[in-house]
Each structure stands twice: as C-alpha cells, then as structure tokens.
Structure 1
Amino acid sequence: MKKGTFSKRWAEWVTQYPIVFITCGVLLALGLGYGGQFITISSDYRYFFGEDNPQRLAFEKLQNVYSKDDSALFVVTPKDGNVFKKNTLSGIHFLTEQAWQLPYSRRVDSITNFQHTYAEGDDLIVKDLVTPEELSDLKNKVSYEKLREIALNEPLLNGLSINADASVTSVNVFMTFPGKHSMEIPEAVAEARKLVDVFKKKYPGHEVHLSGDTMLNNAFNEAGVKDMTTLTPAMYGVIILIMLVLLRSISAVFATFIVMLLSIIGGMGFAGWMGTPITPPSSIAPVVIMTLAIADSIHILKSILVVLQKGNTKRDAVVEGLRVNLKPVFLTSATTIVGFLSLNFSDTPPFHDLGNITSVGVAMAFILSVTVLPAMITLLPLKVRKSNKISNPWGTHVGSWVTGRRKSIAIISSIATILIGLQIPKIELNDEFIGYFSKDNNFRIDSDYTMKNLTGIYQINFDLSSGESQGIADPAFLKKVEEFANFLRNEPMVTHVNSITDVFKRLNKNMHADEESYYKLPEARDLAAQYLLLYEMSLPYGLDLNNQVDVDKSSTRMTANLGFVTTSEIIEIVTRAENWLKKNCPESMHTLASSPVIMFSHISHRNVVAMFKGTLLAFGLITVVMMVALGSVKYGLLSLIPNLVPIILGYGVWSIFVGEAGFTIAIVGSVTLGIVVDDSVHFLTKFNLARREKGLGVDESVQYAFENVGGALVVTSAILVIGFAVLMLSEFKMNYILGALSALTIALALLIDFTLLPAVLSLSGDKKTISNKQSKSNTQ
C-alpha cells in the first residue's frame, strides 16, 4: 500500500458515510458514558495513599491497637473572651450532650465532661468537671475561678481543650465510620453543621469553628465536587468563546463542542464502570480531557479551512484535512496517553485515576476527531472566503529569522536551560494538608483559627511498648515515658503532649489526700496498677482509656499536637523524636511515629522518586514512537530537545518565582510531557513531509513547517494554556499548582518549538534540497 493511501481512504469513507460514522461514534461514547451513574465521591483522605504505603500501614496499625476514630472538633469562642461563665459553660455542656447524638459518634471530650479526680477521705472521686447540677449552683466568681484553676492546671486540658487565657475551648467528637457507603462522612458533617446552627441560636454571643479529621475528609470531598461543578462549566464558556474568535465558524465550533462533550462523557463513564471514586485530583479530568480534545479538532479544522480558502469543494477539503492530519493526530494522542498512563507510577492512587480517566478521554477524543468531527463538517454548512494568500505569512518571516540566527539561538537556549535548570533542586516540598485549601475555604479558615487560638491540629503518635503484659504500670517504663513526654514538650513546634503519665501522677496525688508533693509517678508497680484499675472502673461509658492504653496494658499511645509547621519541619521533629527513643529507651520502646500529617509529609518524596521512573519510561517510549513515526533515528532523538527543555525550564522558573510546591509537582512532568510532544510532532511531521515528499532543503523545510502548522500550533497552545490556567481557579492547591505549572510549561514548549527546535534542525541537516542531491548523484 502506498504511503498515505490508508489516510486518504479513511477520509473518503468518512465523507461518504457520515451518518454511519456519527452514529457509531455517539453510540461508543454513550456506551461508556452509561457507567457515569456508578460514579462515587471519595471522602477519605486515606485514599491518597496506596494500600502498601508504609506510613499508612503504620497509622492503621496504631488505630487497630487503640481506636480507629476521626475527630470533629467544635471550637467555641465566647465574644466576651471568658469561657468560665455560666452561659458559656452551659453552652459547652449542651454541645457535649448533643454531640453524642451525631451520626457515628463514639466519644465526646470537653472541659465539662472531663473526668476530674480528687480525694474525699479514703475515696477516689471521679466525676465530670462541670455537672448540670453544679451549673445551676454556680453563682459567685470564686466558683468559676476554681473551675478555671483546675482546667488550666490540668496538662490533659490546657493547650488542647482550652487555651492558656481561657478565652477559647473545644468539644472534640470522635467518630467511627463503618465504611459501608460514601455518604457517611458528608452525612456526619451535615449534622455537625446543623448542631452549630442550633447552638448559635440557643447561645448567641459565641463563635464556632469546625476542624478535625472528619472535616478534612469532607473538605476533600467538597473540593472535588466544587471543581467539577464550577471549573468545567467555566472551561466550556471560555473555550467556546475562543473557538468562535479563532475559527469564525459556528459549524466548526459546534462539531468541536460535540467531540469535546462526548470525550468527557466517555472518560467519566469509564470511571464509573471501573468503580473509580472521584477525588480533587481526578475531578479535574473533564477540564483536561476537554482541553486535549479541542487540540485534536483544531488541527484538523484549520487544515480543512485552509483548503477551503483555496477554492476546493468542502468534501475535498475534509478529505485533505483528515488525510494530512490522521497520522500526526494519532501520534499526539498516543504520546499524550503514554504521558498520562505514566501517572500510574505515582504513589498516590488519585493520580492513577486522573491518568487513566484522561487517557480514555484522549483516546475517545482521537476516535471522535477522525470520525464524528469530519462527518459532521461534511453534513453541516461551512463557508469561508476564498484566498490565495499563505495561511499564516508570519510563519515565513519567523522561519527565516530563526534559521538566520540558529547558532545564537542554540547557544543562548542551552545556557538558559542549564542556568534555570540548576534552580530545580531549590524547590521546597511542603505538604501540610491545611495548606492544600485556599485561604477562603471554610475548612482552611476554621483550622487556621484553631491553630492560632487553641491548639495545633497536626498530630504525631507514638506507640510505646513496655514489652510485657501489664507493663505500663512498671515505674521504670513510666519514667522513660515521662522523659520522652518532656522531650517533646521542649520542641518549639509542639503545642500539647497527651501522655498517660499525667493520669498516673494525678492519681498518685489523689491517693495521697491530694498533697501536691505526691504529684509524681507512683514508685511501686502494684500501686500504679491498682490506681489505674480503680480509675478505669470509675470512668463512665464512652470515656475509657482505650484511646491511650492497649487491651493487655502492655503499651500506651502518646500524642503530640503541632502548630504551624512545614513538611520538612515535621520530618525533622519526627526524626529527632525517633532518634531520642533509640538513644535513651529500651528496644521495646523503639517505634516509628504515625499520623495523617506524617503520611502527607512523606507523600512528596515518594511521588518524586516514583514519578521519576515513570517519566523516564514515558520519555523512552515517546522517543521510540517518534523515531518510528518520523522514520529517522536522528530526528527521533532531536525530538527529545523540545520535549525535555520546556519541562526543565518550567520547573526552574517555578523554583525562582514560587519556590514551594506539594506532591502534585511530581506528576507535572509526566502530564506535560505527553502534551508538549504534540507541538513537536506536528512541526516535525510537516518538516519531514517537506524534506521527503517535496524535496526541500532543511531551511526551506523549516519555513514550510512554520507556514503550514505554525498557526495551528499557536491556536492549540493558547487553548491548552488557557485550559490548564482555568485550574488555577480551584480551591484545592494541588490542582492550582498542576494548572499553573502545566500552563507555564506548555507556553514555554511553544517558545522552544518556534526557536530552539528549528534552530537545531537547521544546524543538523544538509542545506541542499533532496532533489538537488538526487540530480547531482544521477549526473555522476
């Protein structure tokens, strides 16, 4: 079969049977789209971590030993700045009692139901710090001051449930979600918000902020839903407006819109069929698919319009436009799919989902662009003014300018790439999860307030084992636990430490007639065990020590709350703590810290390592594809330059002007790799066509490529840049970074394709035309 025969025959088939191709394309998209009814929204931050993630496994192991809870933290601030007044204490008691009724509530902690202990003769009294009966009797300032003194002198309360000046307090609700359906967390959050509204009406003069793990989970959920419902419509409007301006044809815009819509339906339907939950990262898939689908259509439509301008019939224009673009559009789609599929190397499952959904959407976009699009154009009215002018005369001037300065451009570009690339290692990775959300996000506002005014919500947990059953009563073990707690309290970023030793010291004091001199650890193991047993037997239902002590009393959980910290600071604190345990404690106490914030702190590093491998493989596959497609090892290798340099420059520029990023930065290379290849594929394909079919020299071939594809590259790049820039409207920081850095990289890719690539091609090839070389060889 002669070269190009299949492309031409395919184009002729499409124009001959447009109804058939439209029907088949629509049925394929709708068949996939039917799966959309099975789409679910994930509300679990754990989904960001693979099942074999070591930090996730460590945290789940801790939860299996103690309790598997997510917290909903009600932070209450009386406007008069004093918690210890009857109205506020009554409100806290009301909120505490009502919180027990929230869905999935297992435990509620507050200053009113704190289990206060004291001695009464030979008896140990364990009771709520503030009971309803006492509230009705609290009439004088002395009584309130006594409560204030008890609360602020209690290590388990001060810095956790109440701040140092008693102006802010909290009600902490621990929830256990069975995980039977995806609406459990949204249901609990909705009820918590209703309770806040009820509280504010019943007790005016109080501010209430909601934070905690449950609210974090729900924030991920709401961010994903909001991005899908706001960014996608915004993108539709922007893209349609741009296409109307650039294509100036309602028929062309309508056909492109149908391709775009069906591609999204196919990609998202695939997610439903596969049971893929939607998360903030995967929620942007429709915007990405839309952007990439338009790029395919634009190249074909621009070629059709150019042929029409020359006076050809519409059918001939469609055939020619599809014939010359079938191969490059297939190549760009294939390389884009390779780039997005490489996201499966990521350590973060939501990025696997983004890559897979987008890959299916891109595949659908290719199929529809070479079937439904040309078929619709064949049927729809399409009129353009006839013109014999070069489609984009500026291409000739740019081509001449670049080839005339090829050495200077190559040298300057090389130096700039090296200097800017050297800045990449300076990027600081920061994945503190509150920072994932914009400053006007409700969860971010409430969490920032909590950390500024009450306590740090970042926690690190240590499972400290005595090495024997009932061993937590061993004075030697308790001494080491106390020393470790003091070590953590001396860390500047630590706002509170919850240690079982504080309970033992208080009980020892109580059992010695509340004498302050006995506020210390028990010296005898049997006494310590008896104190703890007596205390546990006195605790009411739901307020036991299962969240601090394991079943056989062999280990205890210590929790440190952290204030505003960066990822690197968290890792440093954890490293110092783990090293302290190794240096100062017996081997049984050597443990690894675990918590959600530690999981997020390691996510960037793990993704950078994993995605380096994935991106490297994608580079290799794409280069091989380019070699085969261009029929030249040399040009295939040269394609590495316009594909690699923009990514280096993008990361480098980001480092210089922003300097900080989260784990999303690890995937930008793979995402943009498959996209920036598109421009170089189209440019090199036209360059190769000029060399082989038209027998032009290198410089003439460069100019030919500029004239025939330069305009389309500008249009598609502009659409891609705008499409990814729309992601900057997201409240979710990771999507913002992905959009901003991808848009920057794509813009730089166009610059490289218009300067460095043609300069390198001009330097690397024979300036003589192929026809001249052939004629010269024939005369010899």
Structure 2
Amino acid sequence: MSRIRDRIEKRFAAAGRLLYRHNILTLLLLTVFVGGLLSQLPKLTLDTSTEGFLHEQDPALLAYNDFRDQFGNTEMVIVAVKGKDIFAPEFLQKLKKMHVELRDNVPYLDDINSLINARNTRGEGDQLIVEDLLEHWPETPEELAAVKERAVTNPLYKNLLISEQGDFTAIVLQMQAYSSQGEGGVDDVLAGFTEESDSTEQKERVYLTDAENGEVVQAVTRIVENYRGPDFEIYVAGGPVVTDFLKKAMMKNMRKFMILAILTIGIFLFLMFRRASAVFLPLFVVILSLLSTLGLMAACGTPIKLPTQILPSFLLAVGVGDSVHILAIFFHRLRHNSWDKAEAVEYAIGHSGLAVFMTSLTTAGGLLSFSTADVAPIADLGVYAAAGVMLALLYTLLLLPSLLALIPLKEKKKKETHKMKGTSRLDGILSSIGHFATGNPKAILAITALIFIVSIIGITRIKFSHDIVRWYKKDSSIRIASETIDEEMRGSIALEIVLDTGKVNGLYDRDLLQRIDSSVTYVEQVQEGEIFAGKAWSITTILKEIHQALNENRAEFYKIPDNPQLIPQEFLLFENSGSDDLEDVTDSQFSKVRFTIKVPFQDAIAYTDFIQTINEHFAQTFPELKITTTGMTSILFQTMARVIRSMAKSYTIALIVITVLMILLIGKLRTGILSMVPNLFPIMLTLGVMGWFQVPLDLFTMLVGSISIGLAVDDTIHFMHNFRRYFEQSGDAKQAVMETLHSTGRAMLITTCVLSVGFFIFMFANMNNLFNFGWLTGFTIIMALLADYFIAPALMVLVNQAKPAAVNA
C-alpha cells in the first residue's frame, strides 16, 4: 500500500511541475470553464416557500398542487386590527378605507374578506339574498346596532373575522393560485367551476412564485403602515408573511456572513503566513469556487432555499483548508531550498496533494449523504456543497501552481525572528500534547469512553423541532404578530381535508352532509397540546345559512334541511344569487368537498397528535370516501417527519462512506476503523450537549453531524497520512506521533481556527436556528481537533506498541 501511495504522490508532484510550467494555458482553460458557470449567475433565484421543502414528485406536494388546481391558494395573509370598539363608526370607516385600498392595490389578489364585505345571507319573502354585511352603510345608531347583532351572532365570523372577545377584527387576503408567468398568469374567471383541466395544461401552469409572494407582502405592509394608530393596532401574519420575512432575513444573513467569513479567513491567513500573496491566493480560489457553485445551481435551475443559505459561508470556510496545507508546505520548502519556486511547488503538491484530495473526498462524501434526503433543500445542499468542495479542490490544484509561477514572491529573512519565537512556543505546546497523549493512552481512552456514555444518555433526551416562527427572536415583529393573531384570532394557517365521493352530485346526500356538519362541531373541540382548531368550516356552513334565510331567517332553521330534496334546490338558489362562494368548497359536479381547519402556526412536531386525531376521526366517519389531508399545516408536519428520516439516513451514509475512504487511505482495516473514533467523538459529544442543554434538532442543527464528520475527518486524514509516513521511517509510534504533530499539527490548528470561526459567525444571525447551527458546528470542529491531538495519538500508540519495529501500521 505504501508503494501505491508513493507512486500517487509522485504523480501529484509531476502534475504540479507541469502546471507550473504551463501556467498561462492552464489559466486560459480555467477562465473559459469558470466564465461559463459565472454567466449563469443572473438566473439564480430564491425560494423560501413551505412547499419548497418537498421534492417535485413528493406525494404530499402533488396532493397540495391538486388541491390548488381545484380550490385555489390555501395561504392567507391576515391583517388583524385591535380597537376599543370595532363597531364604532370611526373604526368601521377606517377599516373600510384600508379594506378598499388593499383590494385595489395588492397584486395577485384573488379574494379579500372582512366585516366590510362579509357574506350576509338572508331571505326576503321567497327571495334569497346574498350580500355584503355592510352593503348598506349604517347611518343611525339603530342600524349600527343591527349590523353588530348580525355580525356577532353569525357563526361563520367568529374567530375568522371577529375574535371571541370582540376586540379584534381581521381582513383576510387570499392570493391567486397561479403566477402571472406563462399560462398560469391569465385570470380564469371560471376557475373551480369548469371541468377538470387537462393534466398537461396543469403541468404547464406556474404557481404563485416567491418573488410575487414578496410583492404581495410588501404591498400589504406598505398600505397598513398608513393606518396604524393608538386605537387601531395592526398585526400582519400568515404563511406568505412568514415566508417573506424568511427571504429577507436570508438575504441579509447571506451578505453578512460572506463578508465576515472573508474578513476572518483573511485575518487568519495573514497571521499564519504574514504575506499578502498567501492571503490573496486562498481567498481568490475559494471565492471563485463559491461563485462557480452558485453558477452551477443557477444553470440547473435550483434556487437557494433556507438550508442552502449556509452554502456561501460554508464553502468559504471549508475551501480554504486545501490551500492552507499546500501553501504551508510550499513556503516552508521555499525558505529551506534556496528560494526555488518551481521545486517548492512540485514538492508541496507531491507532499499534500493526495491528502487534500482525500480530505475533499471525505468532506464531499459526508455532504453527499444529504443527497438522498426526503427534504428537497437538504438534498440540494448535499449535492451543491459537495460540488463546491470538489470545485475548490480542482481550483486549488490547478490555480495555485499556475498563479505561484506568475506572482513575484519576496524573500523574507529579517522579519522571521518574532515569528520563529511564536513557532517555538507553538512547537512547545504541541510537544507537551504529544508527550501527554503518548504517555497516558489508556487514561485518555478511558475518559473518552466515559464521555461517550454521558453523550449517549444526552442523545436520548434530544427533541425534534421545526418551528419557523420561533426561529425569530422574541422581539421580532413577525413573531409578535403571528403569536398575537394565533392567540386572539385562534390561528393563522390552515389544515385542508378533501372528501371525494367519487360520484356526481354525491354531496346531495343528506346523511353525508350531516356527518360533515357534525365533524365541524367535533373538530372545533379538538386540542392536542398547544395545537387547537380555532375554526372549522365546509359546504354545510353555506347550506345552513341558505336554509335559515329561506325560513324567515329564524335561528332554529340554521341546520341541514330535513327534506333531502331541498338540498340541490337550495344550492341552486345560492348559485343564482350571484355569489361564487360555493366554488371555494366544492367542485362543479358536487363530488368533492373541502373541509378547512384554521390552526396556530406552531412547531411542526406539535401537529403530530392533532393531525392523527383528525385523520382518525375522518377515517372512521367517512369510511366510504377518499380522504386527502393537505394544506400548509400538513406540509409543515410532513417536512418534520422527513427531517427525522433524512437525519438517520444521512448520518448512516456519511459514516459508512467516510469509514471506507479512511480504510482505503490508511491501507489497514483495523487502523482505518479505529481512526473513526476521533471522528465520531466530536459528533457524539455535540449531540449529547444538545440533549443535555435542550437544544432542539431542527432543519439546521440536523446538518451539524454530517457536515462536521466530513470536516473532522480532514484533520484525521492529515494526521494519519503523516503518521504512517514517519512510522514507516522509524518504526517508533511515539516518535512518529511527535513528528506528525510538529509537521502537521500547526496547519491543523490554523484550519480548525478558520473553520470554527467560519461557523461561529452564524451566531451573529438574527434567527435562533442559525445561531444554534453556528455555535454547535464550531464547537464540534474544535472538539474534533482536540480528538486528533489526544485520542488519535493514544490509539496509534496502543495499536502499534506491541510491534515497535514494524514498518506498516
């Protein structure tokens, strides 16, 4: 195995020499390649939508798309207003003015509902009248009192337009299902009541885009700001608003993190090399790698989503490691070999080329474990982060020799004294670490085992979470608005259930309608933990309004007609009244019905018991029907389930792939497997810390394990690679450890500092999930270095102490 490795290292050295000589040709070819990728950057888009978490062919997303094709957009923008008296003339006038301005100026608006235009179904003689609640503006106190009476006694308005306490009212905006791009942008007047569209045509339609969603929220925000006042408190929330806030926060954080990453990396590089060229070259390589990766995403039509926002900072921190190891050897060789650049490049590439190649492979392998994730953006992150790591490797191996050939380097001799003192101090520390690790291997491994046990106990205490609203700080405006609306209006997002009878006019069945109506009553009583049904409605809500109106508006007739023959007649009367509200709850053939449940925007994991209770009820109540559960709540819930599955899958794949690569690199099965101990240690420790300190495992913290194991193994590879080299020369494990720490330990420390700080900068985020991701990953990387300084040497001494004269560990 050592002969094979020697041959490979010689090939790397020869490649370095060739690239040094043909530097101009190399740079020209790379310019063409990179230029092609960078030309795609203008096509890069953002997607912070909830449905963006699912793959295009995910059954949950397909069901949601079918729902949108039939019933329209499910997401609501809720503008809740608090006042001392929401039925005071001045309040209603202001509400009307804001309602009209929203109606006339919010783009992509499909429907808007408030007290101003709330459906008021009544009868006059034998005539059914469906009108707006305030179609006739009250001019006298008596008329105003009558309006208030109709509003507070209408079951539909409660927790939809009026809070239970009566001090909040809401304007509910429903967006179009389709984008203005392509066929979907054309308003379809008959949407919902036409025959089902051809499947090919539906596929060509584009749903409302993230950018258009942003236009909606910006328009709403701009308009409502003009109406805020002491007696007119306004809160804006709902799925589209949360999504827009996420997008803005993501763009702000990405810019901030990229700048901080570049600054911190530059500072560390300067402190290490004290050369402008040694700062410029690695930064140039990693920035080029980052832009190329983003260009690749754009070329493939993959948008940046919530998890992939970490990609720029991640690649900047990770990609610089390859350059650091090569430049460290290059400058060391340059100083000690008569300032021969060509020979120093050849030596550096030959010495470190194989190691950086293997570290890149293991990092990419750890990241690729995400590519099979059931959560789409996690899978995207795995693919493109791995691609970025390999691009960074490619650019490092091709650009560094070529650029070093062209850049003039000044010989530094007089300024080395202070640096040598620092180096001597660091060498002393590394010597102390080496002596301790090799002198107390059993004690170190005993402590390691104890920490493993404590960590495993902590891991059993880990809780899963996907709580988008609470990613924000407590004083965030979106969190305050969302929590206020959830509390006062009893929910801000919807769980949708579609009941399919499978036959034309199946909804004329009185028994079925009775069961649907009973389900409305049942669902509104359901509460599981923090999740409750703030409001439920369906086709029976409209039918009962019609029946009451046709019976002198008497309260006792607010029910399903006793005579089944009246049901189709009453629906027909409602359609002829001019109202199109039936389109929102049933199809044109009265074979499918929509059942909507308004719930609070909570942690996705909290919906588990609630949705299970609802599904069990519908399965038992409607055994003969096809039942589909969908909507934003369902997608949030299913996303969390996929996160849990993806985590288990990705961690397992990463462990297997990296273990195999380690065995191949080291050339010994036992040593290769043992080398995974210092790699698993920091992961187990971090997961244990999460459990003990109640840090939730969410969409971002689940990334820590696979990312960290891919990074942690880098230092282990460099340690093992050099340990084998020195052990084969001396046959003394302790001496080999000391020489390894002195030759590689310094670069390991620098790369760990760069990587950990590169992740610690996420602690400056204004979102809790990114804060946790940053400190956990940085902590894991530091623990990985300590494991390579202490656990790896202890293992190598114990494994090789029986045969100190052997030359193949």
Quote the offset at 1:266 in angstroms: 1.4
Aligned to 2:70: 65
The code of the aligned residue for 2:648 comes to: F
> CA 1:63 to 1:194, structure 2 compared with 1: closer, same or farther past 3 Å?
closer
> CA 1:520 to 1:178, structure 2 compared with 1: closer, same or farther past 3 Å?
closer
Distance 1:502 1:328 in 2: 69
**8 Å contact from structure 1 (residues 34, 269) kept in 2:** yes
Aligned to 2:653: 617
Distance 1:212 1:203 in 2: 19
Quote the offset at 1:308 in angstroms: 4.7
Quote the offset at 1:399 in angstroms: 0.8
Distance 1:17 1:611 in 2: 45
Aligned to 2:302: 276
The code of the aligned residue for 1:147 comes to: V
**Which digits, 9 at most, give the CA deviation of each residue in 1:625-659, with x for residues without a partner?**
22222222222212221222222221111121134
> CA 1:436 to 1:177, structure 2 compared with 1: closer, same or farther past 3 Å?
farther
The code of the aligned residue for 1:54 comes to: P
Question: Which consecutive residues of structure 1, in runs of 5 or more, have no partner in the other structure?
Answer: 775-780
Indicate yes or no: 2:738 matched with 1:713: no
**8 Å contact from structure 1 (residues 438, 732) kept in 2:** yes
**8 Å contact from structure 2 (residues 152, 158) kept in 1:** yes
**Which digits, 9 at most, give the CA deviation of each residue in 1:90-117, with x for residues without a partner?**
2333333343433221211111111112
**8 Å contact from structure 2 (residues 268, 750) kept in 1:** no
Quote the offset at 1:572 in angstroms: 0.3
Greater alpha carbon shift after TM alignment, 187-196 vs 761-770: 187-196
Greater alpha carbon shift after TM alignment, 453-462 vs 182-191: 182-191
**Which digits, 9 at most, give the CA deviation of each residue in 1:504-537, with x for residues without a partner?**
3333222221222223322111123322221232
Aligned to 1:166: 166
**Is the partner of 1:426 in helix, strand or coil?**
coil
**8 Å contact from structure 2 (residues 99, 171) kept in 1:** yes
**8 Å contact from structure 1 (residues 461, 558) kept in 2:** yes
2:408 aligned to which of 370, 380, 384: 380
Greater alpha carbon shift after TM alignment, 643-652 vs 402-411: 643-652
> CA 1:186 to 1:91, structure 2 compared with 1: closer, same or farther past 3 Å?
farther
The code of the aligned residue for 1:518 comes to: F
**Is the partner of 1:422 in helix, strand or coil?**
helix
The code of the aligned residue for 1:488 comes to: V
Aligned to 2:538: 499
1:673 aligned to which of 709, 719, 730: 709
Aligned to 1:44: 49
> CA 1:515 to 1:773, structure 2 compared with 1: closer, same or farther past 3 Å?
closer
Aligned to 1:464: 499
Aligned to 1:335: 362
Indicate yes or no: 2:234 matched with 1:234: no
Root mean square deviation, CA, Å: 2.8
Quote the offset at 1:432 in angstroms: 3.5
Distance 1:460 1:365 in 2: 44
**8 Å contact from structure 1 (residues 126, 539) kept in 2:** yes
Quote the offset at 1:491 in angstroms: 1.6
2:489 aligned to which of 454, 457, 475: 454
Aligned to 2:194: none
**Is the partner of 2:594 in helix, strand or coil?**
strand
2:559 aligned to which of 517, 520, 525: 520
Aligned to 1:650: 686
Quote the offset at 1:46 in angstroms: 1.5
Aligned to 1:89: 92
> CA 1:173 to 1:570, structure 2 compared with 1: closer, same or farther past 3 Å?
same
**Which digits, 9 at most, give the CA deviation of each residue in 1:434-486, with x for residues without a partner?**
23444455543432232133231132122234554323333321221122122
> CA 1:730 to 1:485, structure 2 compared with 1: closer, same or farther past 3 Å?
same
TM-score by length of 1: 0.91
**Is the partner of 1:569 in helix, strand or coil?**
helix
Indicate yes or no: 2:112 matched with 1:108: yes
Distance 1:196 1:255 in 2: 45
2:319 aligned to which of 287, 293, 296: 293
Distance 2:255 2:705 in 1: 27
1:756 aligned to which of 752, 768, 791: 791
The code of the aligned residue for 2:218 comes to: R
Indicate yes or no: 2:290 matched with 1:264: yes
> CA 1:143 to 1:600, structure 2 compared with 1: closer, same or farther past 3 Å?
same
Quote the offset at 1:686 in angstroms: 0.9
Aligned to 2:435: 400
Distance 1:40 1:600 in 2: 22
Aligned to 1:567: 604
> CA 1:179 to 1:514, structure 2 compared with 1: closer, same or farther past 3 Å?
closer
Indicate yes or no: 2:59 matched with 1:54: yes
**8 Å contact from structure 1 (residues 100, 106) kept in 2:** no
**Is the partner of 1:162 in helix, strand or coil?**
coil
**Which digits, 9 at most, give the CA deviation of each residue in 1:195-252, with x for residues without a partner?**
5544554685533333223324433433332233222122222222232233322221
Indicate yes or no: 2:542 matched with 1:537: no
Quote the offset at 1:345 in angstroms: 0.8
Aligned to 1:143: 143
Indicate yes or no: 2:37 matched with 1:32: yes
> CA 1:112 to 1:236, structure 2 compared with 1: closer, same or farther past 3 Å?
same
The code of the aligned residue for 1:114 comes to: A
Q: Kindly tell me the number of residue pairs found equivalent between the two proteins.
A: 764
Aligned to 1:778: none
Indicate yes or no: 2:272 matched with 1:246: yes
**Which digits, 9 at most, give the CA deviation of each residue in 1:688-719, with x for residues without a partner?**
11112x22311211122111111111111111
> CA 1:430 to 1:152, structure 2 compared with 1: closer, same or farther past 3 Å?
farther
Distance 2:294 2:605 in 1: 37
Distance 1:313 1:625 in 2: 36
